[in-house]
A and B are shown apart, each in its own frame.
Chain A
């Protein structure tokens, strides 16, 4: 009987002590800068649960900061945030100019942690090859979009087509949802060809917005890494390691308590998971940026 009481006492102590580990409510706050894709509101909705999850898993407080693409480098330089979530071209720029460290790469779509850029035309347009692009009207994504601008620009240069000289006209749409807009622009005939990210084509097909039979894929770039989490060079290596582990181990079933609801973290962030790539995996994108005379290798 005495032994049983002793065991029960031990069990009670261990249960009570288990609540004594450090919680995320104490210690410093680390800010994560998230690059806005479409709008600040959308960024908050997508990444707030992920940020909460990271706080719980890593055991430190994280705060999300939505940042416009154009402002990202300046604000990072001012040390407004310790961690970054950007597209892969912005990662290259921050790594080249500010020693950003690679943490993890986002997985989304059929290429996983990688993506590609395509040039599309309407199926009935007669535009089949890159050579057919000469004299045509083309619509690109934003200039810092690796799969909506850089990849296609590079594809054309490699095929001997100068986008600045050989197209009759090219434009970049305004506002949010630029990638969807340019796909619709070709679909409705406003432009002859568009620089469409392979991921957007995939998602819109899956959602039934477009059909695979509507478009001709004139050309497609090699695959390169997708959106990327980075850490400023001063971040504690142990913290970065725990941050990375929390991301890489995330599964579609993981949930977090957000606004009183259990939210699926990955689904909420429109992400399939995270991979730990090597910085050398980004060399393919570096090559594209160099050939297209784009940041961080731009020469005037």
Chain B
């Protein structure tokens, strides 16, 4: 310690160190809601992020409500056409792919349903989460559990069929995403 305070140079620097450290601590402790608007917004990035996410959930649910209503009433083809209309304005939205996958599955278009689920999950991993506003984990799990054995068998008996291989790869992708892990 003595070595650090051996002359005026040392004492001056220790003084600056103490003053700046204490000053910074005091500012942090007393600042409260102070500071300019830009700084406040930076400090609230978590809030901004969470608000944007909630807004996205609400927006997408509103946007796709007519499709979901049609699907619920059994008007599946009409729901698919409505999806086309929405797709003209918002192409490449993952939620649309998930809904389309579900409707196509109901219409027995299994290969295309799988491809749509894959597209949706690739665009947004939220759909493969077990929980959350957009979780489609259960329906994807049911799809994989039901279709994987049959497509594995078909691919085994038709080893040169590239289309079956493609569906099988898609099912394995979904299976892997359902299993979790880091992305």
Tell me if chains A and B make direct contact, with any CB pair below 8 A: yes
Does A198 count as interface, using CB distance less than 8 angstroms?
A: yes
Residues of chain A contacted by B28 (CB below 8 angstroms): none
Does A206 count as interface, using CB distance less than 8 angstroms?
A: yes
Contact flag A208-B80 (CB < 8 Å), given A111-B107, A112-B109, A112-B111: no
- Contact between B78 and A217, CB atoms less than 8 A apart: yes
Residues of chain B contacted by A198 (CB below 8 angstroms): 77
Contact flag A113-B80 (CB < 8 Å), given A208-B88, A278-B158: no
- Contact between A220 and B104, CB atoms less than 8 A apart: no
- Contact between B109 and A223, CB atoms less than 8 A apart: yes
- Contact between B104 and A111, CB atoms less than 8 A apart: yes
Residues of chain B contacted by A111 (CB below 8 angstroms): 104, 107, 109, 112
A276 and B84 CA atoms in complex are apart in Å by 26
Other-chain residue from B77, B100, B158, B163 in contact with A275 (beta carbon distance below 8 A) = B163
- Contact between B84 and A220, CB atoms less than 8 A apart: no
A111 and B77 CA atoms in complex are apart in Å by 11
Does A118 count as interface, using CB distance less than 8 angstroms?
A: yes
A276 and B108 CA atoms in complex are apart in Å by 18
- Contact between A223 and B108, CB atoms less than 8 A apart: yes
Does B122 count as interface, using CB distance less than 8 angstroms?
A: no
- Contact between B163 and A276, CB atoms less than 8 A apart: yes
Q: Which residue on chain A has the smallest CB distance to residue B78?
A: A217
Q: Which residue on chain B has the smallest CB distance to residue A123?
A: B78
Does A5 count as interface, using CB distance less than 8 angstroms?
A: no
Give the secondary structure class of A's interface: mixed
Does B75 count as interface, using CB distance less than 8 angstroms?
A: yes
Other-chain residue from B81, B111, B163 in contact with A205 (beta carbon distance below 8 A) = B81
- Residues of B in contact, count (CB < 8 Å): 25
Query: Smallest distance from the beta carbon of B163 to chain A beta carbons, Å?
Result: 4
A15 and B160 CA atoms in complex are apart in Å by 32
List CB contacts (< 8 Å) of A160-213 with chain B.
Answer: 198, 201-202, 205-206, 208, 211-212
Does B18 count as interface, using CB distance less than 8 angstroms?
A: no
Does A114 count as interface, using CB distance less than 8 angstroms?
A: yes
Contact flag A110-B109 (CB < 8 Å), given A220-B77, A249-B162, A276-B163: yes
Does B161 count as interface, using CB distance less than 8 angstroms?
A: yes
Query: Smallest distance from the beta carbon of B118 to chain A beta carbons, Å?
Result: 13
- Contact between B158 and A205, CB atoms less than 8 A apart: no
Contact flag A248-B80 (CB < 8 Å), given A110-B112, A113-B111, A223-B109: no
Does A116 count as interface, using CB distance less than 8 angstroms?
A: yes
Does A222 count as interface, using CB distance less than 8 angstroms?
A: yes
Known: A202-B81, A206-B88. 5 other contacts (CB 8 A): A208-B88, A212-B78, A212-B85, A220-B77, A276-B163
5 smallest beta-carbon distances between A and B, as pairs: A212-B81, A112-B112, A275-B163, A276-B163, A212-B82
